């Protein structure tokens, strides 16, 4: 099973693209399907479940058997009542449980999902497997079940667009081609966030390609405050933080990882901007930051950037091989206020200025008349795939164009029929005429 999953190039479709074959090598007593999809404006997991439920449940049962797990839980927002009823009906015969999550952010952070569904706290810097859990994304399970090379990606196109949709796109398609195909006037778009409003990245070029981990393209008009926050330069962020942070500690009080009992205090990272207190254990707690962005985009009354202060510390710690003394500690306990400080998605939408956008994204079919795709050889955690095609070579959709490396990594495949026109960090394929 693991060989098959590897040769099909299946990776975690909801995050960093960790190769699934590697993740499934371990045993676990509980498998959790992370269908929380807690960021505003995202709809792909819900749509995949609506349209491909049997295949996702089949993938889940395969993973449960491989892990030797006794429990399978689907964690999904309780607002999706119809879907919950359908999953309960079809999953009951196999003992699949349902866990309805509140509509809050970040319910889909796997540390939170594991705690909510099982009551277990993953140690600081740990993994779900440390507490016997395997957390798997909806689209990853679909790819496990389909048992064919991963050549396409589901993603939501939303925000300031005429009609938000979820689409299935050939991997390697340029963002600009995707937007134009679904009816977005790219000349009128101010900015695009790739992935989500809380944890996404600002798009630098319409020529960048869709990969196996792209979850959304969210459009914003020029002048919208959210992309402006993402575009603030690091020196400006630090200078503002240094002069304006009043150490109110709201960022810490609402930090989901702090509330889980982890020794992270973003207001200390902000204080570190003043003093460069690199060796202080409280600043070192930045190591446990998930990057959820709640502190910067919701908690801070002064619109400062505590998340970036934490992530900067984290990078610096990695470079200096520093670790927090509580790394891996197993006796952490959630804060007594943990369950009362969930941030409703409705509040987030208001705070981020998203109320004017329709929060929908029905799965819709499009005919992709792409002239060209640019497929990166590194779309996953680990080593890049090794190119096995040459310029001028004809390839067919699903054909391997990059072989799995020696070490952690997976192969990559052509997503259209065509001729290879370039081989480097990416393989460019021009459609057959």
Site for ligand SF4, rule CB under 6 A? 245-251, 255-257, 264, 266-267, 270, 289-295, 299-300, 302, 304, 306-307, 310
The 3-class secondary structure across 10-25, one letter per residue, is CECCCCCCCEHHHHCC
Looking at beta carbons only, is 99 or 250 nearer to ligand SF4? Answer: 250
Length of the chain in terms of residues written: 433
CA angle 130, 132, 137 (to 5 degrees): 95
Do residues 255 and 341 touch, judged by C-beta distance below 8 A?
no
Looking at beta carbons only, is 141 or 349 nearer to ligand SF4? Answer: 349
**Residue 259 three-state SS:** helix
What's the min distance (Å) between Cβ of 281 and ligand SF4? 16
Q: Alpha-carbon distance 87 to 313, whole Å?
A: 42
What's the min distance (Å) between Cβ of 397 and ligand SF4? 39
What's the min distance (Å) between Cβ of 313 and ligand SF4? 10
What's the min distance (Å) between Cβ of 321 and ligand SF4? 21
Phi, psi for residue 181 in degrees, rounded to 5: -65, -35
Looking at beta carbons only, is 240 or 403 nearer to ligand SF4? Answer: 240
What's the min distance (Å) between Cβ of 309 and ligand SF4? 8
Looking at beta carbons only, is 198 or 218 nearer to ligand SF4? Answer: 198
The 3-state DSSP composition of the chain as helix, strand, coil percent (nearest 5) reads: 35, 20, 45
Looking at beta carbons only, is 324 or 380 nearer to ligand SF4? Answer: 324
What's the min distance (Å) between Cβ of 61 and ligand SF4? 33
Mode of pairing for the β-strands spanning 152-159 and 343-344: unpaired
What's the min distance (Å) between Cβ of 262 and ligand SF4? 8
Looking at beta carbons only, is 266 or 418 nearer to ligand SF4? Answer: 266
Place of tokens 């009951």: 92
* One-character DSSP codes across 309-355: HHHHHHHHHHHTT---TTTT-S-----TTGGG--EEHHHHHHHTT-T
Q: Which residues of 142-178 are buried (b: 16+ CB within 10 A; e: fewer)?
A: bbbbeeebbbbbbbbbbbbbeebbbbbbbbbbbbbbb
What's the min distance (Å) between Cβ of 247 and ligand SF4? 5
What's the min distance (Å) between Cβ of 73 and ligand SF4? 24
What's the min distance (Å) between Cβ of 135 and ligand SF4? 17
Distant-in-sequence, close-in-space partners of 424: CB < 8 Å, separation ≥ 6:
none
Looking at beta carbons only, is 282 or 386 nearer to ligand SF4? Answer: 282
The 3-class secondary structure across 229-247, one letter per residue, is HHHCCHHHHHHHHHHHCCC
Looking at beta carbons only, is 26 or 316 nearer to ligand SF4? Answer: 316
Looking at beta carbons only, is 146 or 248 nearer to ligand SF4? Answer: 248
What's the min distance (Å) between Cβ of 342 and ligand SF4? 13
Looking at beta carbons only, is 14 or 376 nearer to ligand SF4? Answer: 14
Give the containing element (helix H, strand E) for 62.
Answer: helix 44-67
Looking at beta carbons only, is 80 or 111 nearer to ligand SF4? Answer: 111
Distant-in-sequence, close-in-space partners of 278: CB < 8 Å, separation ≥ 6:
272, 313, 316, 320, 322
Place of tokens 């993973």: 63
Q: What is residue 285's DSSP assignment?
A: G
């Amino acid at each position: 099973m693991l060989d098959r999953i590897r040769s099909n190039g299946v990776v975690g479709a909801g995050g960093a693209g960790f190769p699934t074959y590697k993740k499934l090598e371990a045993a676990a007593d509980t498998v959790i399907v992370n269908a929380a999809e807690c960021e505003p404006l995202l709809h792909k997991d819900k749509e995949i479940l609506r349209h491909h439920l049997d295949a996702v449940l089949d993938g889940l049962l395969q993973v449960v058997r491989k892990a030797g797990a006794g429990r399978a839980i689907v964690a999904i927002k309780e607002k999706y009542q119809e879907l919950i009823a359908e999953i309960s009906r079809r999953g009951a015969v196999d003992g699949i449980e349902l866990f309805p999550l509140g509509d809050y952010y970040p319910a889909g952070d796997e540390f939170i999902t594991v705690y909510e569904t099982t009551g277990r706290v993953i140690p600081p810097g740990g993994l779900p497997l440390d507490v016997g859990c395997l957390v798997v994304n909806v689209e990853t399970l679909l790819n496990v079940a389909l048992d064919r090379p991963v050549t396409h990606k589901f993603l939501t196109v939303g925000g300031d667009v005429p009609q938000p949709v979820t689409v299935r796109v050939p991997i390697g398609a340029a963002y600009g081609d995707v937007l134009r195909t679904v009816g977005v006037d790219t000349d009128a778009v101010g900015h695009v966030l790739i992935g989500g409003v809380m944890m996404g990245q600002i798009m630098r070029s319409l020529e960048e390609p869709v990969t196996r981990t792209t979850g959304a393209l969210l459009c914003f008009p020029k002048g919208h405050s959210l992309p402006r926050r993402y575009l603030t330069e690091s020196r400006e962020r630090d200078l503002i933080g240094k002069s304006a942070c009043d150490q109110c500690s709201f960022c810490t009080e609402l930090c989901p990882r702090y509330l889980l009992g982890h020794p992270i205090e973003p207001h200390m990272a902000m204080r570190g901007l003043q003093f460069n207190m690199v060796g202080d254990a409280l600043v070192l707690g930045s190591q446990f930051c998930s990057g959820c962005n709640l502190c910067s985009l919701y908690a801070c009354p002064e619109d400062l950037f505590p998340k970036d202060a934490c992530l900067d510390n984290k990078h610096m710690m990695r470079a200096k091989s520093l670790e927090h003394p509580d790394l891996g500690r197993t006796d952490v306990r959630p804060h007594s206020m943990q369950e009362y400080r969930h941030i409703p998605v409705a509040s987030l939408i208001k705070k981020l200025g998203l109320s004017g956008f329709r929060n929908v994204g029905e799965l819709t079919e499009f005919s992709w008349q792409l002239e060209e795709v640019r497929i990166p050889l590194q779309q996953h955690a680990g080593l890049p795939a090794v190119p096995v095609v040459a310029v001028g070579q004809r390839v067919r959709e699903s054909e391997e164009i990059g072989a799995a490396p020696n070490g952690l990594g997976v192969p990559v495949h052509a997503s259209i029929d065509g001729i290879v026109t370039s081989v480097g960090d990416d393989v460019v394929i021009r459609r057959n005429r």
